[in-house]
Every structure is written in structure tokens, then in C-alpha cells.
């Protein structure tokens, strides 16, 4: 007794209430998931919202800025646009500006990128032997941004224990408190 008094709430619930409690927690998670998947469908991008993790695009974007991406097939890639792309062998996508574009009549496109704050183009970042990016590497193109809105993500990325502590605490809170 005493230390576990907060579990009394749970002890007094019947089977249906317990199940609803779990469902309630599930619905919080599912709502977030379905909003995310819905955004994916709307924007055509596999990751419609990203957080800028490095300072390579300063002064346009700073660490912690939130970007909204779209990736419509029919929209051509143009010089000066800011694209988010994946490189084989790297987990984290990169946000950089398009520097050069080559287009063929059959629709094939290859392009080169560079970070505004970097002194050289991105060939050094690409996979070994890769000189150009192609359409399949693109995650999306930056359409809007919210300055510093993603700072929590940066904190969580830098301190993983902080992330698990918050998630664990929220989970226990939702499961043990009735409605």
C-alpha cells in the first residue's frame, strides 16, 4: 500500500473498462499515425514533415526548423528549388538546394545539389561513385517551413534517454488514469 495507491484506479476497473483504457491509448497513437499517413497520401511524399538537423542550409534554414514537403510526380525539378533526398548507406535524408539539372526528352532527370552554407557541392556526400541524383532519390521538395518548431525533435535525437523517459511517462499516465 501507499506507493502503489495510484494503481487502485486500475484495480477498481472491470474488464471492459480496462480494455477501453488500452483502446484509448491505442487511439491516441492511431490518430497520430493516421494523420501522418493521410499527409503522406496528400503530399505524395513518404515523409511529409521533416526537421532540419544541420546548419548546412543557413541562413535559409536553421537547425530545428520544420519543413513541409510535397512530392508530386508531374512537377518538374528546377534549379534553385530546395529538395530533400536520400543517399544509399545514410539513414538521415539531406535538405539541399538544386544546383544543376539535366533533363532528357523521355523524362529522365539527373541533378546536382549543394548546401547554401557549404563551400562545395554534394558529390562528396553522395554514395561512392555517384555523381548525380535521380528522381527516385527525392523524398520531397520544401514548400513551407516553421522556424524552430522542431527543436524538441533535435533534443530527443541528441538525448535518446530523454525521449524514452517522456514516452514511458505518457504511456503509464494514459493507461492508469481513467478517462
Partner 1 sequence: MAPFKEIKEKPVKIDKWDTGALKNALDDGAKKVLIDIHGYKESHRLMDGRLFICTIAIGFALFALVWDYLYPFPLSRNVLMTCALSYFFLMGILTLYLSYIEKGIFLVALEQDRAMMEPDNEWKLSSSLRKYDDTYHLTMIFVDGKTKEERSATVSRRVDNFFDENGVFCFDLYKPVIDRLKQDLSNEKKKD
The footprint of partner 1 (CB under 8 A) covers 5, 8-9, 12, 16, 19-20, 23-24, 26-27, 29-31, 33-34, 37-38, 40-41, 46, 177-179
Shortest gap between Cβ of 37 and partner 1 (angstroms)?
A: 5
Query: Please, which residue, 109 or 149, has the CB nearer to partner 1?
Result: 109
Query: Please, which residue, 8 or 58, has the CB nearer to partner 1?
Result: 8
Alpha-carbon distance of 161 to 176, in angstroms, equals: 22
CA distances from 111 to 5, 34, 47, 58, 67 (A): 62, 33, 21, 21, 21
Shortest gap between Cβ of 150 and partner 1 (angstroms)?
A: 21
Query: Please, which residue, 62 or 135, has the CB nearer to partner 1?
Result: 135
Active site residue 122: yes
Shortest gap between Cβ of 6 and partner 1 (angstroms)?
A: 9
Alpha-carbon distance of 98 to 116, in angstroms, equals: 10
Query: Please, which residue, 44 or 55, has the CB nearer to partner 1?
Result: 44
Q: Where are the beta strands (DSSP E) in 33-162?
A: 49-51, 66-70, 82-85, 94-103, 109-114, 133-134, 138-146
The active-site residue, picked from 45, 56, 65, 137, is 56
Collect all residues with Cβ–Cβ distance below 8 Å to 20 and sequence separation of at least 6.
none
Shortest gap between Cβ of 19 and partner 1 (angstroms)?
A: 6
Q: Which three cell numbers stand for residue 91?
A: 539513414
Encode burial over 104-140: b for 16+ CB neighbours within 10 A, e otherwise.
Answer: eeeeeebbbbbbeebeeebeebbeeeeeebeeebbbb
Residues annotated as part of the active site: 56, 96, 122
Amino acid at each position: 500500500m501507499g506507493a502503489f495507491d495510484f494503481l487502485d484506479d486500475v484495480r477498481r476497473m472491470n474488464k471492459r473498462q480496462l480494455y477501453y483504457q488500452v483502446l484509448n491509448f491505442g487511439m491516441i497513437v492511431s490518430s497520430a499515425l493516421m494523420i501522418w499517413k493521410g499527409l503522406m497520401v496528400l503530399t505524395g511524399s513518404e515523409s511529409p514533415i521533416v526537421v532540419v538537423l544541420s546548419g548546412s542550409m543557413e541562413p535559409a534554414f536553421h537547425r530545428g526548423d520544420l519543413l513541409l514537403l510535397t512530392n508530386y510526380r508531374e512537377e518538374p525539378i528546377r534549379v534553385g528549388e530546395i529538395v530533400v533526398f536520400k543517399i544509399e548507406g545514410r539513414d538521415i535524408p539531406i535538405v539541399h538546394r538544386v544546383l544543376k539539372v539535366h533533363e532528357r526528352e523521355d523524362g529522365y532527370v539527373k541533378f546536382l545539389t549543394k548546401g547554401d552554407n557549404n563551400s562545395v557541392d554534394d558529390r562528396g556526400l553522395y554514395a561512392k561513385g555517384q555523381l548525380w541524383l535521380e528522381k527516385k532519390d527525392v523524398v520531397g521538395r520544401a514548400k513551407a517551413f516553421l522556424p524552430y518548431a522542431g527543436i524538441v525533435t533535435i533534443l530527443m535525437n541528441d538525448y535518446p534517454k530523454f525521449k524514452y523517459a517522456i514516452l514511458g511517462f505518457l504511456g503509464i499516465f494514459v493507461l492508469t488514469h481513467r478517462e
